[in-house]
Structure 1
Amino acid sequence: MNVNKNFSLLMIGQSFANIGDVLYMVSVISIIYDLKGSATAASFVPFTITTCMFISSLITPLLVGKIRLNGLMAGSQIGKTILLILLGFSLTGITVSTYYVVFIVIGIIAFLDGCANPIRQTLIPYYVKPEKLMKANGIAETVTQLIQAAMWFVGSMFLLILSPQQLIWFVGSLFIISSFLLCLLETVYAKTLESVRKIEQIQEGWKTLFHTPVLRKIGLMYLLESLAGTVWIAAVLYVFVSDALEVEQTWWGFINGVFFLGLILGSLYCIKYASYVESKLGTFLFAGAFFNFLLTIVFSLNSIPIFALVLSFCVGIFTQIKSIPQQTVIQTSVPKEQLSTVYTSLGAIGTGIFGVGSLLMGILTDLLGVRVVFVLSGFLLAFVSMIIYKNKSLFESNSYLGKGRS
């Protein structure tokens, strides 16, 4: 597909931000885990991040319509850059008694991310023609996951040559580049209802989710998948690698890396066969959820490190085969003017559940063992498969593209 200037700026700017996000997360998790030495303590990192993103998702609808969408994207990234510099200074002489400062800073950064993430998804339909959405989503996901795969592989290696503080400074330079590129995006205003109360603005996305049948089902799927996905956080994988696979801690980075490689392959498939995927949305959604359920159960029982990499790779493939069609369904199920509030509501579901779930899974890992939490994750994905199977006609009978759009 021919990629226009705004879509390119959005992808490149977000790419620099994504590289920085992974590197700074590697640094923070490493610091907290070294200081406290437990899965529960390390799990407070994603818990803090997702809780703040949840709060941000609730507040973001108040900004939509008053501030340019592209302005929100650029402004949030500039704010992250400033905060990251503060984080770099706060790492000087960090101890067990003062590490809470790190959580304060990463929490505010996460708050800004909670605003930017739904806006990024909303901007794509503004910058891309409707018939190109599937490919655009595929490209966006491919770029994102390629970066994630590469950075999870090499992120831990950075800590061998750089201190956590030096790594933060490097991330700051990436964030500066990202901020500059996002400032060049074409102006986009999201139209909202005039003269409505603030509470009604916040409720708008939730009402759309509730009154749109397919979005109502996707919202439930978001809830279950977000809870299931908490087993893949670094804090739990650290324990799985050491207790179940009995290998060095660096393997958690390898498992994450091959997972993102699988996401890339799934994205490339959706790009190459976009028309076919669009014609079988329900089938691809079900296949992705069902095979992820099976693969997660097998992963929980496995003790062979190399096989764990294969399973993680396959989980990535089927995750993306489900995710990209699902994004297209969301983007084309309502007029694009409503997308920002829909995405903030879905984001609130995902981040709220993921935040609480991350903490819960960290506790359950310490209490019951890491294999148990992976089995639990698998059965949650089984419920997602059942939801899709029972409502397959809802996805297959609607073309979405070209319908309900303004």
Structure 2
Amino acid sequence: MNFNKNFSLLMIGQSFANIGDVLYIVSVISIIYDLKGSATAASFVPFTITTCMFISSIITPLLVGKVRLNWLMAGSQLGKTILLILLGFSLTGLNESNYFVVFIVIGFIAFLDGCANPIRQTLIPYYVEPEYLMKANGIAETVTQLIQATMWFVGSMFLLILSSQQLIWFVSCLFIISSFLLCFLETVYAETMKSARKVEQIKEGWEILFHTPVLRKIASIDLLEGFAGTVWIAAVLYVFVSDALEVEQKWWGFINGAFFLGLILGSLYCIKYASLVERKIGSFLLVGAFFSFLLTILFSLNSIPVFALVLSFGVGIFTQIKSIPQQTVIQTSLPKEQLSKVYTSLGAIGTGIFGIGSLLMGMLTDLLGVRMVFVLSSLLLAFASIIIYKNKSLFASNSYFGKERN
């Protein structure tokens, strides 16, 4: 199977950007921790990023229709490049009195990321034929997860040989390459509402989301799974490793790594058996959701470290077996011109729930204990499975594949 030049450019350009994103976040966390000597201060880095991405998801619809989607993609990456270069220069005189500058810059970078992420997902159906969408989504997810699985480890290794500022300059080079490649994407326009009122443009994606039955169900599922997924953040998983498994903290890295390996294997499965997944798309959504629930409840009750690795690996597999078909359902349930608006709304749900859920799960861990928090997570996944089971026909492949799309 050969994809066209645009899909290849999108994947390669975004891969350079994703590698740079991980490395620059590793660098910034190191800078803040070295400067303040506080884990709390360092934890505000992901909080700042999540908050700004949420705001971006709300505002992005104002740009769609005014700016070509390919230029919105390339322009956001170019903006990130300029901001990162400014950050690199600002590090020279950084101290405890002006370190807030770092948070301002990473906030703007995250804002541009919040714009680019839904645009990338929207562009795939423009650059890939309908019969190859499942494989394209699988490839995109495989590449992303491979980068996530390796670069957090590699980022730590980079800091052994490079200073944080030198790592920022290295990432700037990666961002420049990414910006250059994305500038060659084929022109893609997206229609928007004729109304001049900005509030209506922002509401458009939400209205499409809640007036399209299958997307409304997906939004409900994302809401439940978003809350459920926050138990896997470091703050909660550290406690589980220490209190429930009673092993050294390095096991957090092992469990996290097993999860990412599971995601990669799930992606590869969807690529290899794309035609089967397309024919049985409702069944794969249900199987992925149900086994994610089952393995999470087993994880919450388990006290054997090696078994925890196996369970985490399994959760990763079934999470991805559900996620990739779900992306394809979204992309084939609407005219392509409406996808960017829907993806920004779904992105707002995801980032908003992650921010609130992370805080809530941390508090519940202190109040109820870490095992009960994982039990709660599994119950949320069970509710998501029930929604899919009751609406399985809505997700059936013959409802979407083969339809003529705009």
What TM-score, normalized to structure 2?
0.92
Over the aligned positions, Cα root-mean-square deviation in angstroms equals 2.3
The offset of 1:318, in angstroms, is 0.6
2:131 corresponds to which residue? 131
Residue 258 (structure 1) aligns with: 258
- Indicate yes or no: 2:14 matched with 1:17: no
CA–CA separation in structure 1 for the residues paired with 2:354 and 2:218 = 16
Counterpart amino acid of residue 210 in structure 1: F
**Range moving further from structure 2, 187-196 or 6-15:** 187-196
Match of 1:222 in 2: 222
Residue equivalent to 2:118: 118
Corresponding residue SS for 1:190? coil
Answer with 361-370 or 319-328: which moved more.
361-370
Q: 1:365 to 1:404 in 2, by over 3 A?
A: farther
Residues 255 and 186 of structure 1: CA distance in aligned 2, closer, same or farther (over 3 Å): same
Aligned residues: 405
What secondary structure, in the 3-state scheme, does the structure 1 residue paired with 2:399 have?
Answer: coil
**SS class of match (1:54):** helix
Shift of 1:26: 2.8
Q: Partners of 1:297 and 1:169 in 2: how far apart?
A: 44
Q: Which whole-Å deviations, capped at 9, do the CAs of 1:148-186 have from their partners, x for residues lacking one?
A: 112133333333333333322222221111111111111
Q: Give deviations 1:71-98, integer Å, cap 9, x for gaps.
A: 1111111111222233344555766665
Q: Which moved more, 1:260-269 or 1:301-310?
A: 301-310
CA distance in 1, matches of 2:382, 2:32: 33
2:151 equivalent to 1:154: no
User: Which residue does the alignment assign to 2:277?
Assistant: 277
When structure 1 is superposed on structure 2, of 192-201 and 383-392 the one drifting more is: 192-201
Q: Which amino acid aligns with 2:67?
A: I
CA distance in 1: counterparts of 2:194 and 2:330, whole angstroms: 24
Bigger mean CA offset, 60-69 vs 194-203: 194-203
Matched residue, 1:181: 181
1:169 maps to what in 2?
A: 169
**Could you say what secondary structure the match of 1:359 adopts?**
helix
In the TM superposition, 1:28-107 aligns within 5 A as 28-30=28-30, 35=36, 37=38, 43-91=43-91, 99-107=99-107
Alpha-carbon shift at residue 321 of structure 1 (Å): 0.2
Residues 23, 167 of structure 2: 8 Å contact kept: yes
The alpha-carbon deviation at position 358 of structure 1 amounts to 2.0
What letter corresponds to residue 120 of structure 2 in structure 1? Answer: R
2:206 alignment partner in structure 1 = 206
Tell me the equivalent position of 1:142: 142
* Aligned mates of 1:373, 1:97 — CA distance in 2: 38
Question: How far apart are residue 367 of structure 1 and its match?
Answer: 4.9
Give the superposition deviation at 1:42: 5.2
Deviates more, 1:48-57 or 1:361-370: 361-370
Q: Could you give the per-residue CA deviations for residues 173-221 of structure 1, whole angstroms, max 9, x where no partner exists?
A: 2111111111111111112233442222111111111111000000111
Q: Which amino acid aligns with 1:321?
A: I
- The share of aligned pairs that are identical, in percent, is 85
CA displacement at 1:360 relative to structure 2: 2.5
Give, in angstroms, the shift of residue 322 of structure 1: 0.2
**Structure 1 unmatched ranges of 5 or more:** none
**In structure 2, distance between residues paired with 1:222 and 1:67:** 28
Q: Does 2:320 align with 1:320?
A: yes
Distance in structure 1 (CA, Å) of the matches to 2:267 and 2:397? 24
Q: Which residue does the alignment assign to 2:330?
A: 330
Q: What secondary structure is seen at the aligned counterpart in 2 of 1:184?
A: coil
Residues 279 and 397, structure 2, Cα contact 8 Å, conserved in 1: no
TM-score (normalised: structure 1):
0.92
Amino acid at match of 1:177: I
- Return closer, same or farther for 1:246/1:97 CA change in 2, 3 Å cut-off: farther
* Compared CA separation, residues 230 and 88, structure 1 to 2 (3 A): farther
Distance 1:29 1:358, change over 3 A: farther
Does 158-167 or 313-322 show the bigger shift?
Answer: 158-167
**Partner Cα distance (1:96, 1:309) in 2:** 40
CA 1:191/1:2 → structure 2, altered by over 3 Å: closer, same or farther?
same
> Structure 1 pair 90/299, CA: closer, same or farther in 2 (3 Å)?
farther
